[in-house]
Amino acid sequence: MVRIILLFLLLCLAPMVRAQKPTDSIQRLDEVVLSDVKLKRYAHGFKVAVLNDSLLKQSTGSFTDVLRFNSTLYFKENGYGMVSSPSFRGTNASQTAVIWNGIAINSQLTGQTDFNTMNITNFKSVEIRSGGGSVQYGSGAIGGSIHLNNTLSFESHFDNTLSLSYGSYNTKNISYLSSYANDKLSFNIGVNYVDSDNDYKYLNTDQRNENGAFNNGSLNANIGYVLSPRNVLKIYHQSFIGEREFSGTISSTSLAKYDDKNFRTMLEWSHQGDKTFSKLKVAHLQEHFKYYGNKNTSNYSFGKVNTYLINYTSDIKLSEELNFKPILSYNYYEGQGSSFGNPNRKEFSTTALLQYQPTDQWEYGINLRQDFTSGFRSPLLFSFDVAYAVSEYYKLKLNGSKNYRVPTFNDLYWQPGGNLDLVPERSYQVDFGQEISYKSAKLSLNAYYIKTSDLIQWQPSASGFWSPENVAKTQNYGAELSLDYTHHVNAHQFSVHANYAYTISEDLETKSQLIYVPYHKANFNLAYNYQKLSAYFQQLYTGEVFTTTENLSGVFYSVEAYTLSNLGISYALFNKKSQQIDLSLKVNNLFNTAYENVAFRPMPDRNFNFQVQYKF
Amino acid sequence: MKKVILSIFTMSLFIVSCTDDDDTISPSEPLGAYEDGIIVSAEGGPSSISFISEDLTTSENQIFYNVNNETTGVYLQSLGFEDEKAYIVVQDGTITVVNRYTFEKLATISTGLTLPRYIAFEDDKAYVSDWGDPIDATDDYIAVIDLNSNTVVSTIAVAEGPEQILEESDKLYVSHSGGYSTNNIVSVINTVDNSVETITVKDVPDEMAINEDGDLVVLCQGGNSWNAIGETTAAIVKIDLSDNSVISTLEFPLGDHPGLMSYEDGVAYYILNNGVYGLTDNATSLPTTSLFDIDASYAYGLSVDDDQLFVTDASFTENSTLLIYDIATGTETNTFSVGVGASKIYFN
């Protein structure tokens, strides 16, 4: 198992990607282990960053924290633990696709994914693919996509990890992960429960974060069974049940409460042919929320969407150089809610991905997709990507794409305001990347340009209610820099991981920066390992963001820039071959910085977390 | 630190802007920086209050924050003025009491309020319309506040969605726009014994005024297509306060929904599709032509004073604009930048 994962990670991270061409057996391995092969095989010209399971497992913080400290993603979080939505490159949260084992899971109501309704420890890896991905992942993949992956391998193993943690604000977390496989059967299960009073102090005031408590439980269970040497059956399942109070602002307390229930189940049958590898997926997703304006009453509003999906794809090896992957997919969405009746939507999509690799240096991808969605005319989508290995150490990547986003159920059907005349948002973009790798150092630099039109925005209408319109045109451009470096001095290992993003995201008419897009965002992670001891220090800088379209600074118009630091130390108390106990202590917001992520919603003061992890 | 710099900066701005006024020798000690002028409240978020001097030469945004270094909450619904005090009514269930001339915070009332909307005064009491839980149609009330102790001392149960509240001769007149739903009544509350009578008007009554004949003029916005009642006509209803009878109902064509009305010197001014109309006390039908048109993207607040018409052109993504028109000529005389979601205009 470990070997397979190592191999797999090596493939993802490999500094000299084309130096050794993956053999067919490794390709097959990808296909068996991974549910989302197109991320690996059909994205050579795209920037894909990987957060592997060792990082995810040791994390005691929120998913939001892990991503904002380890990637260029920007999160808008309404106070700690509250709704938290990611964005790439100055686009918005509904232009960010979240992909669970190959299928899109963004809410059909808001178009977004709330990362505080997701547990990080239950995933094998998280991959962050920057740039448009509508051809591969459909509506909403405009800025980029975040991939949450579980893997099922058939290498014999039986591993268990039990983690218990306790921290500030009476935060308790228990998680158990178990993974078993023989050559016929593979399963892994992850159970997690978090409970927090979350009543942190608002620094420089005498207030606390009242009405911010949350608890949630999640379950991930994945099973794979080898029917015959050529046929494998898998089931992926994820449940999340959460209850959150919605904290107010520094000037207004709140009594609101929000309940989430999300269920995702996917059945996958894969068949290995002589020159093809085909997969049939059937999935059911359910999102369900209840909003209580006053938690002390039983009055609530709700929304619920069921998604039924069937997807067929085949990887066809046309020749040594040419791979072809057609995808056919049918999705049916049915919604129900207090404010939008019982809408439904049908969506049929056809996709063709072509990968051509004439030499070891060159890789080309050409991809097309046409969706047929009830109620809309969807544009023909395309993308192309090229990767060129200039030398063993230097690689160039280029991609361009046309992407789109269909209006959500809220946009269309919300009463009052829903607008049935909306058309999909459309976006064109190009992205140019360079990767320099030398030994254990890797530097990547990307520059991009995105132009989006028919952007959907809610505005007050003359009749006195808010309604969405296809109003804005925006352009985004910027640069991203990522650095990874590992250095050994005898048994001491130092590693550095850093990101910087410069982002211009402006309304083409007013030429002003969009709200909640920082010009500058940077993070820096330093990890140290020595025998049983490991430690890390991480810093995050988020530049000032405007909160009104005028681009003025000040309390009423912007959120100040902040620098945040975390420190963690871990010690392997007991380290036998088959058993290990790790103790770790984490200090978040080390310097007790007063900061806000969303205006008037202060974030936590310095806080501590202690974790015991038992692996057997 | 940045806040300190900001407040010093704002204060210095203020000192600079005051120097102009120092040339005119005031006969009496000024009561505060905001003694004479226009107050514009903005819902937000963030909510804020702006001040514009009476001579329209200076303006200052976020005056409550500048004085008290704290913000008013979500969402600022309305202000009420009584004696030397102003009462800031915020939907989050608080009323902040300030000195109306200095805007220094004096007290906060939060117990007993749920979703307060408007405030009126009688003797040493304030009466606040409150929707309660907006989803619940049966828990709406008028909160009675003792102005000496600044506490809610009792409540008067009323029908769904009490909105604007007006005091006249020991009686309170409450228009029931209906909150999240719709309603079609005006409640009459006798403050002597807190008894409640109701007068049925047209759908969604909101703005009210008492005209020079002593009658109550009520602007009913009518139901919109998305309301449960569907599209219904708007009207201006005149009520005889001696017996609470409806004197006249002047209906608008179906589909017209005037939302703003302000009364001065025998004329009820209202805005419909950016046209300003004037309905005189003795008129028996609605005016067919507008006095003049305003240039607003979203007219959200209206007040008339001294032959001038003040409208807020509200933006919810950036600062709003206060537009000032000379009623006689219909020309725009001044504009000022005011807060995000500017909604109410008062004269201090």
Whether A556 sits inside 8 A of B72 (CB atoms) is no
Contact map slice: B 223-252 vs A, CB within 8 A? 224, 226
Q: What are the tens digits of pLDDT across the range B46-69?
A: 999 999 999 999 999 999 999 999
CA–CA separation, A505 and A489 (whole Å): 43
Instruction: Work out the minimum CA distance from A262 to partner chain B, whole angstroms.
Output: 25
Tally of domains within chain A: 1
DSSP of A86-100? EESTT--GGGEEEEE
Give the pairing type, strands A562-575 and A558-559.
unpaired
Whether B45 sits inside 8 A of A600 (CB atoms) is yes
Instruction: Work out the minimum CA distance from A299 to partner chain B, whole angstroms.
Output: 7
Nearest to B204 by CA among B216, B219, B189, B217: B219
* Contact between residue A395 and residue A14 where contact means Cβ atoms under 8 Å apart: no
CA–CA separation, A419 and A255 (whole Å): 31
Q: What's the longest Cα–Cα distance across chain B?
A: 62
Query: Which pLDDT value is given to residue A28?
Result: 54
A to B CB pairs, distance under 8 Å: 85
Backbone angles phi, psi at A15, to 5 degrees: -65, -40
Contact map slice: B 67-86 vs A, CB within 8 A? 70-74
Q: Which of the 8 DSSP states describes residue A17?
A: T
Whether B73 sits inside 8 A of A599 (CB atoms) is no
Q: Which of B300, B302, B315, B318 to mutate to test the interface with A (most CBs of A within 10 A)?
A: B318
CA–CA separation, A84 and A524 (whole Å): 21
Burial label, B337 (beta-carbon count in 10 A; 0-12, 13-18, 19+): middle
Sign of CA dihedral B220, B224, B227, B230: positive
Q: Which two tokens stand for residue A313?
A: 């794809």
Number of H helices, E strands in chain A: 7, 33
Backbone angles phi, psi at A13, to 5 degrees: -95, -15
Burial label, A486 (beta-carbon count in 10 A; 0-12, 13-18, 19+): middle
Contacts for A498 with CB less than 8 Å, ≥ 6 apart: A481, A482, A483, A522, A523, A524, A525
| CATH label of the domain that carries residue A255 | 2.40.170.20
Whether B45 sits inside 8 A of A415 (CB atoms) is no
Whether A321 maps to a domain, the answer reads yes
Give the pairing type, strands A96-100 and A144-149.
parallel
Q: Which residue has the higher pLDDT, A253 or B269?
A: B269
Q: Which of the 8 DSSP states describes residue A428?
A: E
DSSP of A106-157? --TTTS---GGGS-GGG-SEEEEEES--HHHH-TT-SSEEEEEE-----S-E
Place of tokens 């209840």: A290
CA–CA separation, A276 and A23 (whole Å): 15
Amino acid at site A595 = Y
Amino acid at site B220 = C
3-state secondary structure of B2: helix
Q: Which two tokens stand for residue B122?
A: 């009688």
Q: Which residues of B touch A554 (CB under 8 A)?
A: 6
Instruction: Work out the minimum CA distance from A201 to partner chain B, whole angstroms.
Output: 17
CA–CA distances in Å: residue A218 to residues A29, A166, A242, A413: 29, 18, 8, 31
Q: Which two tokens stand for residue A340?
A: 């939008």
Whether A293 sits inside 8 A of B133 (CB atoms) is yes
Q: Which of A556, A562, A600 to mutate to test the interface with B (most CBs of B within 10 A)?
A: A556
CA–CA separation, A262 and A305 (whole Å): 10
Chain mean position to CA B73? 17
Q: Which residues of A touch B90 (CB under 8 A)?
A: 252
Q: Which residues of B touch A253 (CB under 8 A)?
A: 92
Count CA within 13 A, CB hemisphere, residue A312. 4
Whether A530 maps to a domain, the answer reads yes
Nearest to A347 by CA among A373, A321, A368, A324: A373
Contacts for B32 with CB less than 8 Å, ≥ 6 apart: B99, B100, B101, B102, B103
B201 has which bridge partners?
none
- Burial letters B304-317, b for 16+ CB under 10 A, else e: beeebbbbbbbbbe
Q: Taking the CA atoms of chain B, what radius of gyration do you get in angstroms?
A: 20
Instruction: Work out the minimum CA distance from B171 to partner chain A, whole angstroms.
Output: 31
Count CA within 13 A, CB hemisphere, residue B291. 22
Query: Which pLDDT value is given to residue A8?
Result: 37
The answer on pLDDT for B186 being more than 90 is yes
- Cis omega (within 30 of 0) for bond into A416: yes
Q: Which two tokens stand for residue A530?
A: 């020595």
Instruction: Work out the minimum CA distance from A261 to partner chain B, whole angstroms.
Output: 23
Nearest to B326 by CA among B342, B307, B344: B307
CA–CA separation, A554 and A561 (whole Å): 11
Q: Is B2 on the interface with A (CB under 8 A)?
A: yes
CA–CA separation, A36 and A429 (whole Å): 23
Nearest to B164 by CA among B219, B122, B211, B90: B219
Instruction: Work out the minimum CA distance from B142 to partner chain A, whole angstroms.
Output: 19
Whether A27 maps to a domain, the answer reads no
Q: Which residues of A touch B224 (CB under 8 A)?
A: 416, 463-465
* Contact between residue A427 and residue A402 where contact means Cβ atoms under 8 Å apart: yes
Q: Which two tokens stand for residue B213?
A: 């004949």
Out of B2, B90, B94, closest to residue A560 by CB: B2
**3-state helix/strand/coil string of B153-192:** EEEEECCCCEEEEEEECCEEEEEECCCCCCCCEEEEEECC
CA–CA separation, B268 and A345 (whole Å): 49
Out of B73, B136, B226, closest to residue A251 by CB: B73
Q: Which of A211, A247, A252 to mutate to test the interface with B (most CBs of B within 10 A)?
A: A252
* Contact between residue A401 and residue A382 where contact means Cβ atoms under 8 Å apart: yes
Instruction: Work out the minimum CA distance from A513 to partner chain B, whole angstroms.
Output: 13
Whether A415 sits inside 8 A of B226 (CB atoms) is yes
Q: What are the tens digits of pLDDT across the range B205-262?
A: 999 999 999 999 999 999 988 888 999 999 999 999 999 999 999 999 999 999 999 9
User: What is the rounded (10 degree) CA torsion for B134, B138, B142, B146?
Assistant: -100
Q: Which residues of B touch A556 (CB under 8 A)?
A: 46, 48, 61-62, 65, 339-340
List the strands of the sheet with B125-130, edge to edge.
Answer: B116-122, B125-130, B141-146, B151-157
Question: Among all residues of chain A, which has the CA nearest to that of B132?
Answer: A294
Q: Which of A555, A559, A593, A601 to mutate to test the interface with B (most CBs of B within 10 A)?
A: A555
DSSP of B264-329? ETTEEEEEETTEEEEEETT-SS--SS-SEE---SSEEEEEEETTEEEEEE--SSS-EEEEEEETTT
Out of B48, B133, B316, closest to residue A460 by CB: B316
Whether B94 sits inside 8 A of A252 (CB atoms) is yes
Interface of A with B (CB under 8 A): 248-254, 293-294, 297, 299-301, 415-417, 459-460, 462-465, 515, 548-550, 552, 554-556, 560, 599-600
pTM: 0.88
Q: Which residues of A touch B340 (CB under 8 A)?
A: 548, 556
Q: Is B339 on the interface with A (CB under 8 A)?
A: yes
Place of tokens 């500058």: A520
Q: Which residues of B touch A413 (CB under 8 A)?
A: none
Which range of residues forms the domain containing residue A559? 2-21+32-615
Q: Which of B50, B66, B71, B72 to mutate to test the interface with A (most CBs of A within 10 A)?
A: B71
Query: Which pLDDT value is given to residue B49?
Result: 97
Query: Which pLDDT value is given to residue B19?
Result: 41
- Burial letters B10-26, b for 16+ CB under 10 A, else e: beeeeeeeeeeeeeeee
* Contact between residue A253 and residue A211 where contact means Cβ atoms under 8 Å apart: yes
Instruction: Work out the minimum CA distance from A462 to partner chain B, whole angstroms.
Output: 6
Whether A416 sits inside 8 A of B224 (CB atoms) is yes
Nearest to A354 by CA among A322, A401, A386: A322
**3-state helix/strand/coil string of B21-74:** HHCCCCCCCCCCCCCCEEEEEECCCCCEEEEEECCCCCEECCHHHHHHCCCCCC
Q: Which of A204, A206, A211, A251 to mutate to test the interface with B (most CBs of B within 10 A)?
A: A251
Q: Which residues of chain A have pLDDT under 50?
A: 1-26
CA–CA separation, A279 and B125 (whole Å): 74
Whether A26 maps to a domain, the answer reads no
Whether A249 sits inside 8 A of B73 (CB atoms) is yes
